[in-house]
């Protein structure tokens, strides 16, 4: 019988290095002979494409609408027949995800009603709990410096005031879920290599 795969999530405010570290971790796991799928939220599914339109500001949605849209996309992400998290993990594939329900609790939980957003996500039987959530902690000022250096346009949440509030909310979410979820905080201002090595040791402990 095949072993179950790992489900690992990267979280943090924009510009913290999630994508870079997710790719570094995928390379490490593949070097160990493991099969890996990199994924992200919003997804590439129709529900995720609608979310990206809203995040860009091209389509106006209320914060409550956004929260519900994220839940719909997250459920689809879990149960999709071909590339759903549940099926991949059951087949022994390691799934590394850039953003998950912690982002909903931080962003929409900050802007709307936290308890409501938490109940929709944590209480949903079709939304899987990760084996490990890695939170890359970065100050908003450094986040915006990195974002401005790498992109020509910003998304609706990418400003100092919002990022400061969201980072504070992320830390509150981690405290709230710390007893039920396996969440580790990593200093995202450290060097890329040091961060990757720290994460590799965390993940090897899950084998």
Domain ranges of the chain: 7-204
CA distance 73 to 33: 30
**106-115: buried (b, 16+ CB within 10 Å) or exposed (e) per residue?**
bbbbbbbebe
Q: Is CATH 3.40.50.280 correct for 7-204? A: no
Predicted confidence band at 163 (pLDDT cuts at 50, 70, 90)? confident
Predicted confidence band at 2 (pLDDT cuts at 50, 70, 90)? low
Q: What is the DSSP letter of 178?
A: T
pLDDT in tens, 6-35: 999 999 998 899 999 999 999 999 999 999
Question: What does the DSSP assignment read for 30-59?
Answer: HHTT--EEEEESS-SSHHHHHHHHHHHTSS
pLDDT > 90? residue 73? yes
pLDDT in tens, 100-120: 999 999 989 988 999 999 999
Average pLDDT in the chain: 93
Percent of the chain whose pLDDT exceeds 90: 79
Q: What is the DSSP letter of 158?
A: -
Q: How crowded is residue 57: how many other Cβ atoms within 10 Å of its Cβ?
A: 12
Predicted confidence band at 153 (pLDDT cuts at 50, 70, 90)? low
**Mean pLDDT to the nearest integer, 183-195:** 97
């Amino acid at each position: 019988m095949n072993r179950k795969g790992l489900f690992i999530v990267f979280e943090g405010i924009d510009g913290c290095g999630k994508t870079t570290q997710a790719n570094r971790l995928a390379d490490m796991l593949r070097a160990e002979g493991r099969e890996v799928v990199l994924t992200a939220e919003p997804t590439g599914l129709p529900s995720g494409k609608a979310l990206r339109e809203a995040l860009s500001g091209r389509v106006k949605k209320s914060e409550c609408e956004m929260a519900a849209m994220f839940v719909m996309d997250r459920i689809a992400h879990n149960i999709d027949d071909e590339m759903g998290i549940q099926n991949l993990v059951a087949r022994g594939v390691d799934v590394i995800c850039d953003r998950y329900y912690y982002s909903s609790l931080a962003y929409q939980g900050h802007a709307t009603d936290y308890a409501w957003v938490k109940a929709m996500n944590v209480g949903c039987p079709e939304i899987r709990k990760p084996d490990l959530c890695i939170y890359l902690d970065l100050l908003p000022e450094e986040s915006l410096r990195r974002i401005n250096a790498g992109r020509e346009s910003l998304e609706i949440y990418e400003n100092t005031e919002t990022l400061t509030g969201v980072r504070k909310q992320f830390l509150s979410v981690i405290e709230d879920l710390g007893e039920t979820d396996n969440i580790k905080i990593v200093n995202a201002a450290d060097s890329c290599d040091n961060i990757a090595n720290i994460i590799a040791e965390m993940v090897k402990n899950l084998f």
